[in-house]
């Protein structure tokens, strides 16, 4: 694997900070430089020894991109697109991102670089509902999937180097084009986050639920509600950018979900469901879950 001398992680949130800690743990970089938004985050990052050097965005304005041999954008998708436009056309190092959608990023990359370039987009399928560098983990990416997306005119040598980079910290890599990535992740990540948020809002809007929840000192939920609502606590800014960058797919998926809800409501209202309808329905859902999660029946 190529040895990187100076890695820039622009955005030390949960993902970026965890990547830095993973690299430090495995001694995979001579120096790691991080960029954060605020002085408060910078001081917290220094306290937790997240990176070897940390700048605020304002301080980083005086730095040269060309001093780094690997740049990783750990930002929301819209901000990643903004930073790509600032990159020098002659940058010789490797460039990637941690974006959860790919179509917009790939379009910006392809418009920016009309000839051979070193940008390959990454999506490590890791994370948490917790946000901020204080929740970073040095093993966050181990045994997790990382999807790599190639723009036009990419450098094949750089693709191999980036693939090896992710595998060196324990990730499992696969390739997927931007269109397929965004469609598949709509159903397996993006819309489920919306549905989780719908669930908690819908439940708490019930007056009796509010009354009893507010009057008891302990949660009235079991494990099922906790599991289904966990991701509703995720970073609002990040998810706002994800939803807005994948609207077409998400609208279609929500329409399909609405149709499924209507079908089940009609089944209940009709009062003449075939025998074992619900038993078969839940059995099919178990099978679908096992296929998606690669579980043994």
Query: Burial code of 236-252, b = ≥16 C-beta within 10 A, e = fewer?
Result: eebbebbbebbeebbee
pLDDT band at residue 5 using 50, 70 and 90 as cut-offs? very high
Q: Report the distance separating Cα 85 and Cα 167, nearest Å.
A: 28
Statement to judge: residues 46 and 94 lie in one domain: yes
Statement to judge: residues 162 and 206 lie in one domain: no
Statement to judge: residues 132 and 220 lie in one domain: no
CATH number assigned to the domain comprising residue 45: 3.40.50.720
pTM > 0.85? yes
294: left (phi over 0), alpha (psi -120 to 50) or beta: left
Statement to judge: residues 129 and 185 lie in one domain: no
Statement to judge: residues 23 and 133 lie in one domain: yes
pLDDT value, residue 270: 87
| Domain end residue (candidates: 135, 150, 176) | 176
Q: 182-222: per-residue pLDDT in tens?
A: 999 999 999 999 999 999 999 999 999 999 999 999 999 98
CATH number assigned to the domain comprising residue 206: 1.10.3660.10
| Domain end residue (candidates: 176, 199, 228) | 176
**Which three-class secondary structure string do you get for the chain?**
CCCEEEEEEECCCHHHHHHHHHHHHCCCEEEEEEEECCHHHHHHHHHCCCCCEEEEHHHHCCCCHHHCCEEEECCCHHHHHHHHCCCCCCCCCEEEECCCCCHHHHHHHHHHCCCCECECEEEECCCCCCCCHHHCCCCCCCCCEEEEECCCCECHHHHHHHHHHHHHCCCEEEECCHHHHHHHHHHHHHHHHHHHHHHHHHHHCCHHHHHHHHHCCCCCCCHHHHHHHHHHHCCHHHHHHHHHCCHHHHHHHHHHHHHHHHHHHHHHHHCCCCCCHHHHHHHHHHHHHHHHHCCCC
pLDDT band at residue 275 using 50, 70 and 90 as cut-offs? confident
| Domain end residue (candidates: 137, 160, 176) | 176
Statement to judge: residues 63 and 39 lie in one domain: yes
- Chain centroid offset of residue 285 CA: 25
Statement to judge: residues 172 and 30 lie in one domain: yes
Statement to judge: residues 119 and 148 lie in one domain: yes
- Residue numbers of the domain that contains 239: 181-293
Q: How many domains does the chain have?
A: 2
pLDDT value, residue 236: 87
């Amino acid at each position: 694997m190529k040895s990187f001398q100076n890695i820039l992680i622009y955005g030390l949130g949960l993902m970026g900070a965890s990547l830095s800690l993973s690299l430090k743990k495995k001694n995979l970089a001579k120096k790691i430089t991080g960029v954060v938004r605020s002085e408060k985050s910078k001081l917290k990052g220094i306290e937790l020894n997240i990176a070897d050097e940390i700048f605020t965005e304002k301080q980083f304005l005086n730095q040269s991109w060309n001093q780094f041999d690997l740049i990783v954008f750990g930002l929301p998708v819209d901000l990643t697109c903004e930073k790509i436009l600032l990159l020098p056309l002659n940058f010789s190092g490797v460039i990637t991102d941690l974006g959860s959608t790919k179509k917009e990023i790939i379009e910006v990359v392809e418009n920016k670089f009309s000839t051979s370039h070193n940008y390959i987009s990454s999506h490590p399928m890791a994370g948490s509902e917790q946000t901020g560098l204080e929740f970073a983990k040095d093993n966050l990416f181990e045994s997790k999937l990382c999807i790599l997306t190639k723009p036009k005119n990419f450098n094949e040598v750089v693709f191999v180097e980036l693939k090896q980079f992710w595998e060196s910290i324990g990730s499992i890599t696969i390739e997927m084009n931007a269109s397929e990535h965004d469609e598949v992740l709509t159903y397996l990540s993006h819309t489920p986050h919306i549905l989780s948020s719908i669930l908690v809002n819908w439940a708490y809007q019930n007056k009796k639920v509010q009354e009893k929840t507010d009057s008891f000192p302990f949660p009235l939920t079991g494990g099922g509600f906790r599991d289904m609502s966990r991701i509703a606590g995720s970073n609002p800014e990040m998810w706002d950018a994800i939803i807005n960058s994948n609207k077409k797919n998400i609208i279609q998926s929500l329409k399909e979900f609405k149709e499924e809800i209507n079908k089940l409501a009609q089944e209940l209202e009709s009062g003449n469901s075939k025998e074992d309808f619900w038993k078969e329905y839940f059995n099919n859902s178990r099978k679908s879950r096992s296929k998606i999660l690669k579980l043994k029946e």
